[in-house]
Each structure stands twice: as structure tokens, then as C-alpha cells.
Amino acid sequence: MTDETVIAAEGSGLQGMALIKDEVKRLPDAPGVYRMMGEGGEALYVGKAKSLKKRVTHYAQGRFHTQRIAHMVHLTRTMEFTSTRTETEALLLESNLIKRLKPRFNVVLRDDKSFAEILIRRDHAAPQIRKHRGVHSIPGDYFGPFASTWAVNRTVNILQKAFLLRSCSDSVYETRTRPCMLHQIKRCSAPCVDLISGEGYRELVDEAHDFMTGKSRAVMKRLSTDMQAASEEMEFEIAARLRDRIRALSMISMEQGINPETVEEADVFALHAEGGQACVQVFFFRAGQNWGNRAYFPRVDKTDEDGDIVDAFLGQFYEDKPIPRLILLSHAAPNAELLAEAFSLTAGRKVELAVPARGEKKRLVDHALTNAREALGRKLAESSAQSKILAAVCESFGLEGSPERIEVYDNSHIQGTNAVGGMIVAGPDGFMKNQYRKFNIRSQDLVPGDDYGMMREVLRRRFGRLVKEEEAGEVTVRPDLVLIDGGAGQLAVAVEVMADLGVDDIVVVGVAKGPDRDAGLERFFMPGKTPFMLDPKSPGLYYLQRLRDEAHRFAIGSHRTRRTMEMKKNPLDEIEGVGPGRKRALLHAFGSAKGVSRASVDDLIKVEGVSTPLAERIFNYFRKT
């Protein structure tokens, strides 16, 4: 997509406007992307240009529209340039870099979680229906996006009732000898035990596909006709099953809310900006149905124009998501034609961007705009309350300023087994779940249940890595406050570890639970201070309790996951030469790993794929001393 030539200004001794003026002399009159970098190598701004030379020249002239741009130029220490063949390619590269680097002076999309989809697999004789996230690596039909996990789970459940498609894994499917509970409650046609023919099951799959691709009325009409015919032929049981399927499909339409008549496939974007913050509300319409909405709060500046925010948001939003044929907007994007060209190139078909002025499409945009306005209002109210809470935390612990990043640590284990340390992160906008980390305790020297030793290992790994990254010149984010679940002992361990690593400029606080673990009676420990308590009515105390509880929840959840994985381990996995296929054959033949362990060499040889040397290896494995 891009030329490999990257021009970087380094070591020239120039900075700010002088640096930019020097770079302009060597820039080509061609499309590309430019990056402004700060003192520590951090990205300040990423921009695209039809002509790199002309675009960057604007910065060299010193005529800035805002003080913010002037400040950005003043902070610039290096610049990097990448040439592209077309402006469209430059737009795609710009969006990719902004999303990855999150430059300080760009509009940046935050909280960009992946969307759930519904997948009907096509790589099996009895296609499976299931929820899916991520790349489309499995052969099949993908339907989405759904705005929430709740919406996709409910839709999958209803589709199971309506079309009786299996949701079990292939391994479960292949080992069934009788129908499972889902068949009993009329949510699966039980193809695993041939209670439906292969042709009949494929017809159900085709009906589900038709329904999800917008042919819902035709599917329901066909089912209604079949129900009437069954009733007339006195096949009342069949008629009742068809009636239940029709009801299930009707539930999807009722649950979806707004279902447009003239829009089959579209995404609707509405922006409301106020007080230096913005909300973009996104609604998804597929197959003529509303598949939910989600509010985004991109990082913006109060000087950013509405159209520019929409422009930047769209480029980053579709960098890794399926693109519909129609995109409806509340504000015109300055680069709408370029975006449409780029999206069409990515999707492999025509994509249209429009700002509707009347009719149903305008009503859809207005509805999304109302939701954006209300969501931003709630966000601003929450931000105001959050600022007061963080100010209270700042005062309680004597911080120099309101904390931007708080890290909370907790451990979880059962008598020292499957020990896991958890780190959660919070900031002005709430919990930063993409920053959470779990630490599987590795040390073999720890006494089971040694909480101090576990905390020592977790903190040494976390801050040891931080120090290494800083020494390597990488951009890192230090916490302003570290909370440790525990009292004086845990605090002493934390202070010791961080002092050894030279990280002695971070405030560390131990949080000890009150008597009988009563909330509101927590004691706080800080180096050189007498343990203290906070006012039980303090909003800061309630916030700290939430942080501690979230760390506890995360640590316990990580521990349970590790314990479950440990319990699921099969001794056959440790035998050389026993892969998934032979493992499945052995389990089918003997019922369980214990059954395999009791088998003789002669019995093992009878299993398909098991040779005499392998049978002896399996036999000896279970009898080693």
C-alpha cells in the first residue's frame, strides 16, 4: 500500500518550526503521511496529505489557527514521513497509525472494543450456530455487528428456538449417544444422533441464513403456511412446533426496537459535542433490523470542528470492522468522498456516505443524535462527580495532583495452589480494563500461602519491566498511586521492592480490611505515617472500596480460570505421540483417561492409530514410579 521510504529528521539539533522549515526542503510533492514526535519519541500528531510538501509548509509559515497547534509545533523534536501512491492509501495509513499510536493532538477513538457477531459455521456436516469475536478465520456465514454481548446471546438463544440449530462444540457433538437437554427443551433438532436427516438440517440452516440476511418475512410466511397445512392434516404436534418457532422469530423483531422499512443495511453515526468533550452514538442496522447501539467518547479538543471529529472517528472506527453499504451521518465529513473511496476499496464494493435531509433516514439520525446528547450529558455529570472523588483521594493521601492512573494489586489462591496476582487500573474515566494484568506466580521457592512472597514477585515483575522499558527509551506510563490489598506487612514488601528497583517516586498505600471484613472500617497504611481511617461517609472511601473490590474480583476470577484449566488437563496430553486424533480415539475406546491407564498393551494396540511402540509408551507412562 505504501512506499517503503520513510524520511526521519533526527540528530539535526533543530526543533519546532526551525525543524519543520528544514524538512520542507526535502519533501516530495506527493501523497503521504507525516508524524510529529516529541522529546521522548512520543507521537504528538499524525496527519495525511495529498501533497506532503504543501501540507507541511503550512506549519512552517507560523500562521496557526489555534494556540493548540502552535504548542504542538513548539513541542516537535523529530518528524517522520511515509510516501503513498494515492491520497486514499494515505488516509488508511493515517487511521491505522492514529489508532495504534494515540497521538496527543489527534482526535482519538477510545474504548474501541470488538463487536460480537453470530456465526453459522460451514465447515461441518451439521453447521453450528454460535457467538463469535475477532477475525473471520472460520469458514461460515457471519452476521453482525451486535452492539452488546447481551443482544447477541439473546438472539442466538432465539435463533436456536426458531431453527433448532446445534450450539455444541464438535468434540461434544461427536461423542453424543443420546439427545442432550437442549433437544428436550426444543432448542436443538439433535443432528448428533440422527433425529433429523442431513437434508432436513440443511434446510433449517438455509432458513436461518435467509432470516439473518433480511428475508425474515418470507421465512415467517413459509413457516405459517406449513403450520396451517399441518393443522389441516391433524398433525397438531408438528403445528405446535412450527407455532413456537414463529413466536421465537417474532420476539427478535419485538426486542430490536426501531426496525426501519427502507434501510436494509446501514450504520448511523450521530455526534454531539459540548464542553470540550464529544459523544458519537453508533446504531447498527442489518437485515432491516436494529442490532443495537453503542456510545463512544473520543478524545477531542474544544477547538475541533464537528465535521473533523466525524472524519477522524470514521477512519479509525472502520480500520478493523466490517463496513456496510450505507453510512448515515449527522454532520458532513470534510473528506467524505475520500472516505467513501477508501471504504469501497477495503470492502470490495461500493460504500455510500450520506447526511440525510428528510424521510426515515433523517429520523434514524435524529434518534441517534438524541441518544448522543443524552449520553454525553450523563458522561459530563459522571466526570464532575469523578473529579470530586479523585480530589478527595488526592487530599487523603497527600498526592501532588489528581491521579491519572491508579494501580491496585491483590493475590488469590487456595492453600497456595494455582496462585495468581491481579493488577487492575483506574483513571479519571473509570476502570481501564484493557490495562488489567494477571501474574501467574512462578517461583518454586515460595512456601504455600506466602502472601508476602507472592506480592514481592508480582511487584518485581511489574516494575522491573517498567524500569527496563524506560531504560530502553520506550514510552511508558507510570501510576500516580499504587494500592496494595493488605496492611503493614504487604506495604513493607511493596516499598522494599520498589526501592530496590529505584522506583521511589510513586505513592504506595496499603488497604487493610476492617474487623470482620466490614466495609467502612478499612485502615490505610503509608510509609512513615500512623495507620489511619477515612470518614465512613467520605465519597473517596467508597471509591477506594470499589477499587479494592474490583481488584479482588479480578484476582479471584483469574485464579478460578487457572484452577479450571488445571483440572481440565488430561494426562494423555503429556504423552509423546498422542495428538488430538489419537487422544479422541483412546477416550472413545476406554471412556476416560483412567480407563486408558488400566488398559493392557494388547488392548491399546486395537485402537485405530495406535502402534505397538506407542501402546507400550502409553502403558509405561501410567506405570512409572
CA nearest to 166, candidates 115, 129, 198, 113: 129
Q: Is 339:333 a contact under the CB 8 Å cutoff? A: yes
514 located within any domain: yes
What pLDDT sits at residue 580? 81
Q: How far apart are the first and last CA of the chain?
A: 60
Q: Are residues 127 and 48 in the same domain?
A: no
We report the CATH number of the domain holding residue 51 as 3.40.1440.10
394 located within any domain: no
Q: Are residues 532 and 459 in the same domain?
A: yes
What pLDDT sits at residue 417? 66
Q: Are residues 285 and 305 in the same domain?
A: yes
DSSP collapsed to 3 states, 44-73: EEEEEECCHHHHHHHHHCCCCCCHHHHHHH
Asked, as a colleague might, if the bond just before 145 is cis with ω within 30 of 0, I would say yes
Boundaries of domain holding 127: 116-256
152 located within any domain: yes
What pTM, to 2 d.p., does this model score?
0.65
CA nearest to 333, candidates 301, 309, 368: 309
Q: Are residues 371 and 489 in the same domain?
A: no
We report the CATH number of the domain holding residue 575 as 1.10.150.20
Q: Are residues 554 and 440 in the same domain?
A: yes
Q: Are residues 172 and 209 in the same domain?
A: yes
What pLDDT sits at residue 415? 61
400 located within any domain: no
What pLDDT sits at residue 307? 92
109 located within any domain: no
Q: Are residues 421 and 481 in the same domain?
A: yes
The DSSP code sequence of 13-39 is ---HHHHHHHHHTT--SS-EEEEEE-T
What pLDDT sits at residue 369? 94
Beta bridge partners of 483: 408, 509
Q: Which three cell numbers stand for residue 264?
A: 436494509
What pLDDT sits at residue 47? 92
CA–CA distance from 109 to each of 22, 316, 554 (Å)? Answer: 32, 7, 26
Segments of the chain scoring below 50 in pLDDT: 1-2, 4-5, 7, 9-11, 255-257, 625
Q: HSE of 459 in the Cβ direction (CA atoms, 13 Å)?
A: 31
What pLDDT sits at residue 495? 93
Phi-psi region of 472 (alpha: psi -120 to 50; beta: other; left: phi over 0): alpha
CA nearest to 73, candidates 99, 100, 45: 45
396 located within any domain: no
What pLDDT sits at residue 326? 94
CA–CA distance from 546 to each of 290, 408, 425, 426, 550 (Å)? Answer: 35, 11, 12, 10, 6
Q: Are residues 25 and 128 in the same domain?
A: no
Q: Are residues 428 and 550 in the same domain?
A: yes
Give the chain's radius of gyration (CA, Å).
30
Domains in the chain, number: 5
Q: Are residues 414 and 548 in the same domain?
A: yes
Q: HSE of 571 in the Cβ direction (CA atoms, 13 Å)?
A: 14
Q: Are residues 357 and 316 in the same domain?
A: yes
**Exposure of 21 by Cβ count < 10 A (0-12 exposed, 13-18 middle, 19+ buried)?**
middle
71 located within any domain: yes
> Per-residue pLDDT tens for 25-36?
889 899 999 999
Domain boundary among 195, 229, 256: 256
Q: Are residues 123 and 221 in the same domain?
A: yes
We report the CATH number of the domain holding residue 275 as 3.30.420.340
Distance CA 335, CA 148 (A): 30
138 located within any domain: yes
Run of H or E including 493: helix 488-500
What pLDDT sits at residue 11? 47
Pairing of strands 417-427, 406-414: antiparallel
